[in-house]
Amino acid sequence: MNITLRVWRQKNSDAEGRMVTYKVEDVETDMSFLEMLDVLNEKLTTAGEDPVAFDHDCREGICGACGVVIDGVAHGPETTTTCQLHMRSFKDGDTITVEPWRAKAFPVLKDLVVDRGSFDRIIQAGGYISAPTGTAPDAHANPIPKADADRAFDAATCIGCGACVAACPNASGMLFTAAKVTHLGMLPQGQPERAARVVKMVNQHDEEDFGGCTNIGECAAVCPKGIPLDTISQLNKDLLGALASGNLD
């Protein structure tokens, strides 16, 4: 099949960007979206034009490196990562618009590559359990009800790709933050730091210039790992609880 691509091109973070149109021919339906971009880049390189920069690594949907907005939807028409989106989801002759994640907290570095360091800083603020190496009790010391373990796991599957932010009309990073708060908050090991964690992470989230959450739900609708929206409510509950108990740190 033949595809027309409109791709955001931007030389570096300071440069002005623009949409550029390319034709990609002989696209096979079994190709992944990124393999289709590989084909474009091989063609551009051979023609002496700068290839399109995009982030990607594992290409099996788990590292969270890849992610672009395709025709207005983060990661495109299937609910999966961009690397696991295949060209069979498109038709011959389609025009596809490809843009980077747009958020002030994710500045564009080049073309479709953005800087998601703000996510790391949210984790630094408190997205962990303080368990220095060697201090752990036996793994069976603390049985955990399966329901809690499962809920923690569902939240823990977040891959930090940033689609939630890209899709949110407010450019909020609340689903990402809430996933971590819920993952750790559901486990007995996570209790001692629970109140302080949520306050510190939300403060950091706000400091990074993410927008506020208004419970629209676009984030969960595009999340390739299906992080449930109720994690945000859990975060709110934990936060109100923490604030009520005077944990204002």
Partner 1 sequence: MALKSLMAVTGVILVLFLLAHMYGNLMVFGGQQAFDEYSHHLRELGEPMLPHSGALWIIRVVLLASVLGHAYSAVALWSRAKKARGHRYAVTKSAQGASARYATQTMRWGGVVIVLFVVFHILHLTTNDIAPGGASTSPYERLVNGFQPEFWYVTLFYVLSVLAVGLHLRHGIWSALATLGANKAKRERPLHAASTLIAVVLTVGFLLGPLSVTFGLVE
Partner 2 sequence: MTELYIEGDPVRDEKAPAGPVQERWDKRRFSAKLVNPANRRKLSVIVVGTGLAGASAAATLGEAGYEVTSFCYQDSPRRAHSIAAQGGINAAKNYRNDGDSIYRLFYDTVKGGDFRSRESNVYRLSQVSVEIIDQCVAQGVPFAREYGGLLDNRSFGGVQVSRTFYARGQTGQQLLIGAYQALERQIAAGTVQMHTRHEMLELVVKDGRARGIVVRDMVSGEIETHFADAVVLASGGYGNVFFLSTNAMGCNVTATWRAHRKGALFGNPCFTQIHPTCIPVSGEYQSKLTLMSESLRNDGRIWVPKEHGDKRDPREIPEDERDYYLERIYPAFGNLVPRDIASRAAKNVCDEGRGVGPGGLGVYLDFADAIKRMGRPAVEAKYGNLFDMYQRITGENPYEVPMRIYPAVHYTMGGLWVDYDLQSTIPGLFVTGEANFSDHGANRLGASALMQGLADGYFVLPNTINDYLSAGPFEKLDADDPDAREAAEAVRSRIDTLLSVDGSRTVDSFHKELGHIMWDYCGMERTEEGLRKAIERIRELRTEFWSDVKVLGGNEELNQALEKAGRVADFFELAELMCIDALHRNESCGGHFRAESQTEDGEALRHDDTYAYVAAWEFNGTGAPPILHKEELEYEYVEMKQRSYK
Q: Pick out residues in 126-145 that bind partner 2 (CB under 8 A).
A: 127-140, 142-145
Helical residues (DSSP H) of the chain, grouped into ranges: 33-46, 117-126, 146-156, 163-167, 174-185, 194-207, 218-222, 230-244
Q: Which of 60, 92, 209, 249 binds partner 2 (CB under 8 A)?
A: 60
Is 121 a binder of partner 1 (CB under 8 A)? no
Nearer to partner 1, 45 or 215 (CB): 215
**What does the buried/exposed string (b/e) look like for 95-114 if buried means 16 or more CB atoms within 10 Å of the residue's CB?**
ebbbbbbebebbebebbbbb
Q: Which of 5, 152, 159, 229 binds partner 1 (CB under 8 A)?
A: 229
Q: Is 103 in contact with 165 (CB distance < 8 Å)?
A: yes
- Using only C-alpha atoms, the chain has a radius of gyration, in whole angstroms, of 20
When CB distances are held under 5 to 8 angstroms depending on the partner's kind, the choice from partner 1, partner 2, none that residue 189 binds is: partner 2
Nearer to partner 1, 136 or 240 (CB): 240
Q: Which of 55, 175, 210, 225 binds partner 1 (CB under 8 A)?
A: 210
Closest CA to 130 of 168, 72, 184: 184
Is 18 a binder of partner 2 (CB under 8 A)? no
Q: Which of 35, 71, 115, 193 binds partner 1 (CB under 8 A)?
A: 71
